[in-house]
Structure 1
Amino acid sequence: MKPIRAARATALRKNAPLGARNRNAALALLVGAVMLVATACGGDDGGDAKGGSGGSGKGGGKNAASAAVVNIVPKNKAADVATDGTLKVTASKGKLTSVEVADDKGDKVPGRITKGGTAWEPSEHLGPNTKYTVDAVAKDADGRESAKHSTFTTVVPKDTFVGYFTPEDGSTVGTGMEVSLNFNRPVTNQKSVQQAITVTASPSVPVKGHWFGNQRLDFRPENYWAKGTKVKLSLRLKGVEGADGVYGTQSKDVNFTVGRSQVSVVDAAKHTMKVTRDGKLIKTVPITAGSPSTTTYNGKMVITEKYKVTRMNGDTVGFGGEYDIKDVPHAMRLTTSGTFVHGNYWAGPSTFGSANVSHGCVGLLDHRGANDAGTPAAWFYDQSIIGDVVEVKNSKDKTVDPSNGLNGWNMSWAEWTAAQ
């Protein structure tokens, strides 16, 4: 049966009118031509850059490839890339319209397009041991787009470092507070590290940094902060090479406010302390300073810690077994080496305002237990905050070392800002 049907179908086609056969032939030719055009226009160049639509029709019309060329350094899939100075995105025969660089967590790297649209550069260091993707788009003079995608991985560090900062984020401090950073590893590339740290103030004043050795960097303005100043510490240490093969990991902002200006001036010869707040004397307090054999440092000292009750042991500050008082009341630290302004319940009341008998601290009359709010020491403790200043004068001792506590105020502005 199949051969008979096939023969019958062939006979029917042969017996079709001439006009119909011509129409069928013309239709077949037209379909073939369309398929040929579609094949010619559907090719792929297989490169990293992709031409987009648009343009005025020059060089092939609307669908011609973009003349813009995007270049990315380092090359695709590069490894051990430096965290600074290597990443560059440029465009030739066109201008960059979009550059996005992101790490493997999706966090974007900030940057900006420069040189009239022909280059892009990151505004921060890249992180170490991190994979990054780069996606860039450029347009030529006719508006046609060219895009490029690339990946690379940064160098693996030998070690990392961080900076422990003072004061705390969100804190309210006194007029003498310095911004202090203590690094957990020695820093040999001090210029690079300092450039990655900024301290700004509102109202604006110049704020400069000063290194004490290779693990501490402090910032301060020329004079004490003004009341109400808002201060911002910006740490951009991630990817900064602090020493050979040692890279930073922090990218953080810290904000604090200067609550008021309180400066208390201790006159060791007169045995008094005058407490001035926002330019107004609010109280004169009788004190005892260091004895002739254990004098108190002169100079400007900043309160860095407060303890309602603390232990003071002479063994810890080089005085052997001369004292070990387990419950010193209302104590506030002025130096790293152990100078405090604190309450004193063991000296007679007549001592305060008339004699210097301490081991170098500034003592105020107090009661044992720190529970009497009416004593001079309790009053001063309650009136003081971290960052307040205590200035000592007329003591028969040297000026406190600027690095002994947050006491850089004892350096002139010229000394503080001198090249190091």
Structure 2
Amino acid sequence: MDVAPGALKIGATGGKLTTVKVSDKSGKEVPGTIAADGSSWTPSAGLAVGTAYQVSAMAADANGAVATADSSFTTLTPAALAKASDNVDDNATYGVGMIVSVEFSKDVANKDAVAKGITFETDNGTAVKGHWFDDRRLDFRPEEYWKPGTKVTVQYRLKSVEIAPGVYGTDRDEPFTIGRSKVSTVDAAAHRMTVAENGASSDIDITSGSDEHPTWNGTMVVMSKEGTVRMQSSTLPGMTGSPYDLQVPHSMRLTTTGTYVHGNYWSGGAFGEDNVSHGCVGLRDVKGGGDSTTMGKFYADSLVGDVVIVKNSVKKETLDPANGLSGWNVPWSKW
């Protein structure tokens, strides 16, 4: 018979269970417990899907008569699998603000079980917690920024977790490392960015979003380093001012909706003096991008997962924590 991985329960009638052994074909036993009244045995964890098991049980009645029974069963083969994709590459190095964002290919019905099926092993005991943004997206982070040098392994144990009716996941491990600390704070009103890296700090002249297209306030994280990106005014909702179509060098994405920190070679003397961008943070650069420019150096030294904080922007709306890897804007008590 086919049994759902979480549905196994072995019972006894007319007596009490004394021993129960459940094992797979390799002889590996399934841990479990007998109820205090001896009426049933349940496994302490879900069984593997599509797997054959042997059961050997012994029970005794009130007169001391002992009975044994042997049986077998196979757990069901999933009707469908849900893929869990994330933003982590094996053995990569990320910044201290890295948030692991998991996207499922199907809506998740059993969110508690799924969240428990994804765990983080760290070499320094850093605790990590998940937060659901919708029925498919689950982000993970610690309470505070990661400690530099932390070694992390994301452990997916979803093969035996019913994600939705008849739908299960898969198992895998993903190791990565946290690099040096780099937190950049943009003061939009002062047109300056302070970069704190490994205990040292430096100030950089910048230009951020204009009053018509202000930059988001809040804590953002570098999602990706994208090199040269074509940016067009035609893609910007509510665009005002002169149209543009630019090849923008040294572009690093901060939000899903298109906020970047990038090189800027067209704004003349605005750096440190005025905010003239359409929402991005611009640093001095040259057309095509230069390795020795302010932005070229900043880009080369940046990691996915680095933190960029913007304050004193005139923008009134609050940055949506689901916009990019912006979960640091959610208090830990609500995460």
If the TM-score is normalised by the length of the shorter chain, which range does it land in?
0.7 to 0.9
Cα 1:334–1:94 change in 2 (3 A) is same
Match in the other structure for 1:101: 24
Q: Contact 1:187–1:243 at 8 Å: present in 2 too?
A: yes
- The answer to whether 1:302 aligns with 2:225 is no
Match in the other structure for 1:366: 285
CA drift of 1:123 comes to: 2.9
Q: Mapping of 1:258-277 within 5 angstroms?
A: 258-277=178-197
Match in the other structure for 1:376: 294
Cα 1:271–1:156 change in 2 (3 A) is closer
Q: CA RMSD in A?
A: 3.0
Cα 1:264–1:109 change in 2 (3 A) is farther
Distance 1:87 1:154 in 2: 15
CA drift of 1:92 comes to: 6.7
- The answer to whether 1:195 aligns with 2:122 is no
Cα 1:115–1:358 change in 2 (3 A) is same
Match in the other structure for 2:260: 340
Match in the other structure for 1:318: 237
Distance 1:181 1:229 in 2: 20
Match in the other structure for 1:218: 139
Distance 1:172 1:319 in 2: 38
Cα 1:84–1:369 change in 2 (3 A) is same
Q: Which of residues 270, 276, 289 is equivalent to 2:208?
A: 289
Match in the other structure for 1:353: 272
| Higher helix proportion | 1
User: For residues 248-295 of structure 1, what are the alpha-carbon distances to aligned partners after superposition, in whole Å with 9 as ceiling and x for unaligned?
Assistant: 2311111211112110011111111111112321x2111000011000
CA drift of 1:87 comes to: 5.7
User: For residues 171-211 of structure 1, what are the alpha-carbon distances to aligned partners after superposition, in whole Å with 9 as ceiling and x for unaligned?
Assistant: 11100001111111111221222122222333113321111
- Structure 1 residue ranges, 4+ long, deviating more than 6 angstroms after superposition: 89-93
Q: Mapping of 1:17-56 within 5 angstroms?
A: none
User: For residues 358-384 of structure 1, what are the alpha-carbon distances to aligned partners after superposition, in whole Å with 9 as ceiling and x for unaligned?
Assistant: 0000001111112x2211010100110
Q: Which of residues 393, 398, 401 is equivalent to 2:320?
A: 401
CA drift of 1:163 comes to: 1.3
Match in the other structure for 1:57: none
- The answer to whether 1:230 aligns with 2:148 is no
Question: Which has the higher relative contact order, 1 or 2, with Cα contacts under 8 A spaced 6 or more apart?
Answer: 2
Match in the other structure for 1:85: 7
Match in the other structure for 1:239: 160
TM-score by length of 1: 0.69
Secondary structure of 1:252's counterpart equals: strand
Cα 1:413–1:264 change in 2 (3 A) is same
TM-score by length of 2: 0.86
CA drift of 1:301 comes to: 0.4
Distance 1:93 1:189 in 2: 32
Cα 1:111–1:317 change in 2 (3 A) is farther
Secondary structure of 2:135's counterpart equals: coil
Distance 1:413 1:198 in 2: 18
- The answer to whether 1:410 aligns with 2:329 is yes
Q: Contact 1:101–1:134 at 8 Å: present in 2 too?
A: yes
1:405 is aligned with what amino acid? G
Distance 2:199 2:208 in 1: 25
Question: Which is greater in Rg?
Answer: 1
Count of aligned residue pairs for this structure pair: 322
User: For residues 331-357 of structure 1, what are the alpha-carbon distances to aligned partners after superposition, in whole Å with 9 as ceiling and x for unaligned?
Assistant: 000000000000011221x21111110
Distance 2:88 2:236 in 1: 25
Q: Contact 2:22–2:29 at 8 Å: present in 1 too?
A: no
Distance 2:190 2:28 in 1: 60
Secondary structure of 2:208's counterpart equals: coil
Match in the other structure for 2:43: 121
Cα 1:99–1:133 change in 2 (3 A) is closer
1:211 is aligned with what amino acid? W
Unaligned runs of 5+ in 1: 1-77, 141-145
Q: Mapping of 1:64-83 within 5 angstroms?
A: 78-79=1-2, 81-83=3-5
Q: Contact 2:78–2:168 at 8 Å: present in 1 too?
A: no
Cα 1:89–1:120 change in 2 (3 A) is farther
Match in the other structure for 1:65: none
Distance 1:89 1:391 in 2: 58
Cα 1:125–1:289 change in 2 (3 A) is farther
Unaligned runs of 5+ in 2: 61-67
Secondary structure of 1:260's counterpart equals: coil
Distance 2:265 2:254 in 1: 20
